[in-house]
Copies of this chain bind each other. A is one copy, B any other.
């Protein structure tokens, strides 16, 4: 990745005044021709010049042999020459003083090493001349702003103007998206296929769109997250400064998918759980499919963001009303209770067989008047945050009039109004009216409910206060440095149990009192100092599962038992793990009662150090009850992590159980977060278990292990 692009550099891509299409020709239906012709035919407000070594004119426009032959101050070049000569073209573009380019041509990084070399060469020339470019290997760029009206793409059609921006790593997906959008009457502000992003990246584009007055919602299709932290930063800025939703469809979720992505664009997917967590942390709405993405986008782009989750469902058919209610409740929405005034209006306007409660059933023969009375009284009700309107095409339903009436009501109320006209052919005219007037329409009531709930989720993400990470200044940095230095001197990666404990101690994470004994007598003496009851654990590189090997003894309450236990452990371990070398026996204070929690650190290739919190012991593997966050994070986030665990009721106290010391747990999580941030050389850390005792009695580490990155990666 190069430096961040300036606003002006990205702006140049969208708003050129004179453009050369370099490498075009007369072959209608081929990419080099289509690109030139699309710019020409789709109302470009500037001047476009064809550059073609062999043609006198292209589409009736005088062609030039070389870019430098053009007698005009060009500010943009669209490069469609084959990749093998792209570097020559870029040289000329640079010499001509052009500062913006779009490289459509494929045959670069995505085809392997030879292509990667070409890409680097082109990029180096561009850098030399200060050319910023999109691509290579992309469908192009579209700006629907009538001030410029620029379609530098080989898409079949120019999309309509709209307030949704779409950015895609995949060019092929763009054609399907444009076709889909056309059928649904969805318009775009900016549409960018950014391909291999050798220069301008999705991050640069996001910074630009943040301040683009034409854009209200930003959609992004990604196959790999290469700059995770930068992505989180820019989205957080977009949310806090502009309140624009950012929706991402990220493929490569599964291992097989990731492999396919790797063979396709040379990308490596990080763990999908981390990606989910990081997206949520940044305020990104992650979408499952292209359809979901547009379902959410139209609601956020067309309608006010809901101020709450209390929806009213209005329907002319009971069955779909029940299906919608099911989904609404499942999605965490609540069915609004109507005010007396609303109830009165409904009673007066609807037949006595109608259901006046939420979901409101207008009955099958409902026409415009009933829809009008119900929806407008409901949207005027202070207890309602939004209306979800369902229509089924009965023989007497005046679909067109109802659609028009809903558009008019939608304009009158500053609250979200979504619709679902079920069926296809019969309702198509009504649906088109709704779409043209920016009333979100969904074929399925269930999708309508899901879109509303995602808009509510967006409101939450936008309005939350992420808070600042605490910086604990009582950490003994020298001691921590010393431990790392020792491990490196020894050439190892894995910290010993004692080193791991001492590292945590340097970060003031509480430990059970312990010592290491090399003999029966030492063990007994240590036990005396620490106080009974005592736990003994074998310390040995060769014993992975200590309990299974008989290497753990609990609850020893006398010096004599400790002495016998020491011998017992040595015997058990030696008989169950042949040739095991025992380094020492850990003499530790018995933990007593406490809920077991795991806190861990791992390195993610996309997002860096992440912290995991979950149920401790063996159950974390079985129940996958854990949550992750990218470090650093605030205490508020640590609290949200703990509260989202299934384990949480056991921590907060259920069925008259004593509540646990959650504040101490939070402090431990924060300190591990600080450790993760200050020591990126930690590849893996497991505190398992941390024992969270009853309120006021703190939390203590019973066991921990730490592994560093490979030494060659330590400097970064």
Chain A interface residues (CB < 8 Å from chain B)? 29-31, 34, 111, 154-156, 168-173, 175-180, 182-184, 221, 223, 249, 251-257, 260-261, 263-265, 288-291, 316-323, 325-326, 328-330, 335, 353, 355, 357, 359, 361, 364, 392-396, 422-427, 443-444, 446, 545, 548, 618-619, 621-623, 625, 646-647, 649-650, 654-657
Alpha-carbon gap, A395 to B647, bound state (A)? 54
Pick the contact of A288 from B173, B446, B625 — CB < 8 Å? B446
Q: Is the CB of B395 within 8 A of A29?
A: yes
Instruction: Give Cα A423 to B156, complex, Å.
Output: 12
Smallest CB–CB gap between A705 and chain B, Å?
16
Asked if A264 contacts B424 (CB within 8 A), the reply is no
A-B contact pairs, 20 of them (CB 8 A): A29-B395, A168-B319, A172-B317, A172-B320, A173-B319, A175-B394, A176-B392, A176-B393, A179-B427, A223-B322, A252-B326, A254-B329, A254-B330, A256-B328, A257-B326, A260-B359, A263-B357, A545-B656, A622-B650, A623-B623
Instruction: Assess A253 versus B330: contact at CB under 8 Å? Given A172-B364, A263-B357.
Output: yes
* A444–B290 CB distance below 8 A: yes
- What CA separation (Å) do A394 and B290 show in the bound complex? 18
Which of B111, B253, B335 meets A256, CB within 8 Å?
B335
How many angstroms between the C-alpha atoms of A646 and B326 in the bound complex? Answer: 27
| CA gap between A317 and B106 in the complex, in Å | 14
Q: How far is the CB of A164 from chain B (nearest CB, A)?
A: 17
Given the known inter-chain contacts A359-B260, A444-B289, please indicate yes or no for A320 contacting B254, CB distance below 8 A.
no
* Contact A323 B251, beta carbon cutoff 8 Å: yes
Kindly list chain B residues whose C-beta atoms are within 8 Å of the C-beta of A649.
Answer: 621-622
Nearest chain B residue, comparing its CB with the CB of A182: B425
Query: Which B-chain residue is minimally distant from A221 (CB atoms)?
Result: B319
* A648 and chain B: residue at smallest CB distance: B622
Question: How near does chain B come to A629, taking the closest CB pair, in angstroms?
Answer: 22
A298 to chain B, nearest CB (A): 15
Contact B223 A34 (CB under 8 A): no
Is there an interface contact between B646 and A172, defined as CB atoms closer than 8 Å? no
Known contacts A290-B444, A548-B655; can you find 14 more A-B pairs with CB under 8 A?
Answer: A156-B426, A169-B319, A170-B318, A172-B394, A175-B423, A176-B317, A184-B424, A223-B322, A255-B322, A255-B326, A257-B326, A257-B329, A264-B322, A618-B650
Give chain B residues whose Cβ lies under 8 Å from the Cβ of A392: 172-173, 175-176
Nearest first, the 5 A-B pairs at minimum CB distance are A172-B317, A179-B423, A170-B319, A183-B424, A176-B422
How far apart are A145's CB and chain B's nearest CB, in angstroms? Answer: 24
The interface residues of chain B lying within 8 Å CB-to-CB of A257 are 322-323, 325-326, 329
Q: Given the complex of chains A and B, what is the CA–CA distance between A364 and B107 in angstroms?
A: 13
